[in-house]
Amino acid sequence: MQTVRRAVIDVGTNSIKLLVADVTGHRVDPVYEDCRQTRLGQGLYATGKIQPQAITQTAIAIGAFITIALRYNASSIKLFATSAAREAKNADELKAALEQAVCLPVEIIPGEREAHLAYLGVRTDPAFEGKPLLIFDVGGGSTEMILGNGPHIQLQRSYQLGAVRLANELQHSDPPAPAELANCRQWLRDFVQRDIQPELKPALAQGAKAKGQSASGNPGTPDSLQLVATGGTSTVLACIQAGLPKYDRTKIDGMRLRLDQVRAIVEQLWQMPLENRKRVIGLPPDRADIILFGAAIYEALMDKLAMPDLCISTRGLRFGAVLEA
């Protein structure tokens, strides 16, 4: 079977990410990965528009990534944008500016397609073959949820819930006060109960009934269901827990985090001023502000959905996109 080297560039709300990978059938072997924070969503939720400076910084980062992809002899380069671009009133302006700057078409993908690609990407890991999966990808502007088993996807949704979005919604002191963490936790519990559980519970019950499986925890939850976390927030949590000074795929892929471990990280970070968080091992300094909310989102999901642990997948959206490129 022929191997093809491809590149994808993911233009997210918080950061721009590059994956260069060798694709052989449904196998994806990463060759090079990079991430640069451009905060495309900065000011978006207050104004409804992406700011000119963010567009410029994003174009510069994409240009640099294209140069790297060509250096690695990628036969194709796919460029796509997610939550911030979907919601911006000036999305056409962003798309035109980026396409003019880098001479590549920009695809603004819908939320459910983002979820679908994340599922495809996670499934490039043979360890998940034949297992029922509940996947969450917590990003800067949105969170994608996918329930599936093998090639069958039972439910896929994209929610307007993300670390950057929540940071804009819930202002906090430095360091945050205990009452501010309590308020954030309550806000998230309400969101999960109102927006996620009404869709997820019937799907879990239906899946359990179809397979004749018993339920534990929430009604209809199959005993074998694995909660999987993918995306930048989850890998940062894994690096913090493992004490890794920088991202290392080989050391965190497949790592499991218990609810009590995630909760301990949340409480540790919410007690620290920003400057101290920037020195936490495993936490990139430029994510030290929004990690408060990304970590709290995962804590709330595990707590409200009664999932005792989650499995970290370093594969996700970009792996699905490079597979389909």
pLDDT digits (tens, 9 = 90+) for 45-64: 999 999 999 999 999 999 99
- Residue 142, pLDDT > 80, answer yes
Per-residue pLDDT averaged across 294-306, rounded?
97
> Chain centroid to CA 316: how far?
8
pLDDT value of residue 1: 86
Verify cis geometry, omega within 30 degrees of 0, for the bond prior to 175.
yes
Please give the helix or strand (H or E) that residue 296 lies within, else none. helix 291-304
Report the CATH number of the 4-109 domain. 3.30.420.40
- Residue 248, pLDDT > 80, answer yes
CATH 3.30.420.150-classified regions of the chain: 120-322
Name 96's Cβ contacts closer than 8 Å, sequence gap at least 6: none
pLDDT value of residue 224: 82
pLDDT value of residue 219: 35
**pLDDT tens digits for range 249-272:** 999 999 999 999 999 999 999 999
CATH 3.30.420.40-classified regions of the chain: 4-109
**pLDDT tens digits for range 154-180:** 999 999 999 999 999 998 999 999 999
Per-residue pLDDT averaged across 239-247, rounded?
96
Structure-block tokens of residue 255 = 């790592």
Q: Rounded distance, CA 115 to CA 136, Å?
A: 9
Per-residue pLDDT averaged across 276-282, rounded?
97
Q: Rounded distance, CA 37 to CA 18, Å?
A: 12
Q: Are 168 and 45 in contact (CB under 8 A)?
A: yes
Structure-block tokens of residue 262 = 């995630």
Which three-class secondary structure state does DSSP give residue 108? strand
Please report, as a single letter, which amino acid is at residue 199.
Answer: E
- Residue the block writes with tokens 């954030």: 184
Per-residue pLDDT averaged across 74-91, rounded?
96
DSSP 127: G
Q: Helix 232-242 vs helix 291-304: angle between axes, to the nearest 10 degrees?
A: 90
- CATH superfamily, region 120-322: Exopolyphosphatase. Domain 2 (3.30.420.150)
